[in-house]
Amino acid sequence: MTQHRKARGMRSQLLVTEYLKERGWPFATSAGSGRPGVDVLNTPDIAVEVKARAGLDPLAWVKQAEKDADGRLPFAVFRPNGLGEDASRYVAFLRFGDLVELLRKAGYGDGD
């Protein structure tokens, strides 16, 4: 991995962490480079894996987040090339069942 790609990955992890800190996870911290486990620490209810690259492998990324979830909601945040530094525009991958459960709890669906 080139130094540029490594730095971009670390920057992406920090941007995701800062986004979460401002929106309900005030103690979120970036795990740093090369550390095993999730990429964002101190988020007791979510297990976040951050990816910044050209290629796509969402199944592997979600499986990686699941492996370290310990009962938390696992998902992967993907920063594709060319998207910039606005973390709100990044793409998240999670299991469909988890998405439907979240939508139902948020009031979507017919209420049954």
- Chain segment 71-110, per-residue pLDDT in tens: 999 999 999 988 899 999 999 999 999 999 999 999 999 8
CB 45 within 8 A of CB 60: no
pLDDT value at residue 1: 57
Domains of the chain as residue ranges with CATH: 3-105 (3.40.1350)
pTM over 0.85: yes
Residues 77, 49 contacting (CB under 8 angstroms):
yes
Per-residue DSSP letter, 32: -
Nearest to 29 by CA among 42, 45, 38, 19: 42
| Residue 91 three-state SS | strand
Distance CA(8)–CA(92), nearest Å, equals 18
Better pLDDT: 22 or 34? 22
Beta strands 46-53 and 73-80 are: parallel
What are 64's two structure tokens? 């990686």
Question: Quick one: average pLDDT of 20-25?
Answer: 98
- Structure token digits, residue 92: 């998240």
Place of tokens 């696992």: 74
